[in-house]
């Protein structure tokens, strides 16, 4: 797999990284409780990809730290045995048919290589399998093009829980009977 590690955030998708090559071992699997520290560090590194200041990242650290219970509910993707990203779904307080994509983070060396789409499509399928009709996503503003590309629609705004006064776009994904028809790709599934 060829990935341009040096590409600055603004140009990462303008330059378009190469997708994982055929034969590269992509595995989606449930994360374990003892992987909470690894996932928390990945989330912080991933957030840092947008070029946020050190003080901003410190403010976000608590929110990006997974408990062992959260980690045990996350799903991660490994590329040749290396954890490249993860997602975490949770029920929403909005209603019993609504879920929340609490976390979706790709480790910087893998950003722009299709891992985000793989994770998002897995979250979509999993959410549909739980009987949810909608998934809400409190997004980083810089992730807006990604969510729009994958079919989520902005339905409002929410105030950040980490940074006072910061407004975040609230996206919603409507689930129609089992998720997208687009294939996820070459990932191997544990289920
Ligand atoms: C947002 C994020 C998860 C996307 O993951 P990714 O692996 O880079 O995304 P992919 O390579 O799978 O891209 C999927 C599609 O979205 C598009 N896309 C993704 N990010 C984009 C961007 N910033 N601008 C324009 N298009 C973008 C890609 O072009 C691609 O389209 P295609 O498959 O039709 O060609 C990743 O950038 C990330 O972890 N960022 C830092 C943390 C973060 O903000 N997470 C979200 C918290 S709300």
Domains in the chain with CATH codes: 25-179 (3.40.630.30)
Residue 21 has pLDDT above 70, yes or no: no
At 1 the pLDDT is 42
Is there an atom of ligand 1 within 6 Å of 47 CB? yes
Question: How far, in Å, is the centroid of ligand 1 from the Cα of 50?
Answer: 12
Distances from the Cα of 156 to the Cα of 33, 100, 136, 144, 168, angstroms: 33, 14, 10, 13, 9
Closest Cα to residue 75, out of 84, 63, 64? 84
70 CB near ligand 1 (under 6 Å): no
pLDDT of 103 above 90: yes
- The pLDDT value recorded for residue 54 is 94
pLDDT of residue 20: 60
Edge-to-edge strand ranges of the sheet holding 134-138: 153-159, 167-174, 134-138, 98-106, 82-91, 74-79, 26-30, 188-189
Query: Given this model, what pLDDT does residue 71 score?
Result: 98
Rounded to 5 degrees, φ, ψ at 57 are -65, -35
**How far away, in angstroms, is 43 Cα from ligand 1 center?**
14
By most ligand atoms within 8 Å of CB, the mutation choice from 1, 40, 60, 116 for ligand 1 is 116
- Asked whether the predicted pLDDT for residue 66 surpasses 60, the reply is yes
Q: What is the pLDDT at residue 163?
A: 87
Mean pLDDT of 59-65: 95
Read off the DSSP letter of residue 88. E
pLDDT band at 10 (very low <50, low <70, confident <90, very high): very low
Predicted pLDDT of residue 94: 87
Pairwise pLDDT comparison (100 vs 18), residue with the higher score: 100
| Ligand 1, pocket-test mutation among 106, 146, 147, 184, most atoms within 8 A of CB | 146
pLDDT tens digits, 130-169: 999 999 999 999 999 999 999 999 999 999 888 888 899 9
Q: Give the residue, by CA position, lying nearest to ligand 1 atom 5.
A: 116
Q: Which residue has the higher pLDDT, 20 or 95?
A: 95
Instruction: Scan for tokens 């608590």, then name that residue.
Output: 62
- Token pair 């929110």 is found at 63
Mean of the per-residue pLDDT values of the chain: 85
User: 171 CB under 6 A from ligand 1?
Assistant: no
Nearest ligand 1 atom to the CA of 110 is 7
- Where does 35-101 have alpha helices with state H? 36-48, 54-60, 68-71
């Amino acid at each position: 797999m060829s990935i341009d590690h040096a590409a600055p955030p603004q140009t990462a998708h303008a330059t378009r990284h190469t997708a994982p090559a055929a034969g590269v071992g992509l595995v989606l699997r449930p994360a374990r409780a003892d992987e909470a520290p690894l996932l928390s560090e990945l989330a912080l590194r991933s957030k840092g990809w947008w070029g946020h200041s050190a003080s901003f990242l410190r403010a976000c650290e608590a929110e990006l730290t997974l408990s062992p219970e959260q980690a045990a509910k996350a799903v991660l993707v490994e590329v040749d045995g290396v954890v490249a990203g993860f997602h975490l779904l949770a029920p929403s307080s909005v209603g019993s048919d609504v879920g929340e994509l609490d976390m979706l983070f790709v480790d910087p060396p893998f950003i722009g290589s299709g891992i985000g789409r793989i994770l998002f499509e897995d979250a979509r399928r999993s959410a549909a399998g739980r009987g949810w009709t909608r998934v809400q996503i409190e997004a980083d503003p810089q992730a807006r093009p990604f969510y729009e590309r994958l079919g989520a629609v902005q339905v409002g705004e929410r105030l950040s829980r980490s940074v006072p006064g910061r407004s975040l776009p609230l996206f919603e994904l409507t689930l129609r009977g089992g998720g997208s028809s687009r294939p996820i790709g070459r990932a191997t599934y544990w289920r």
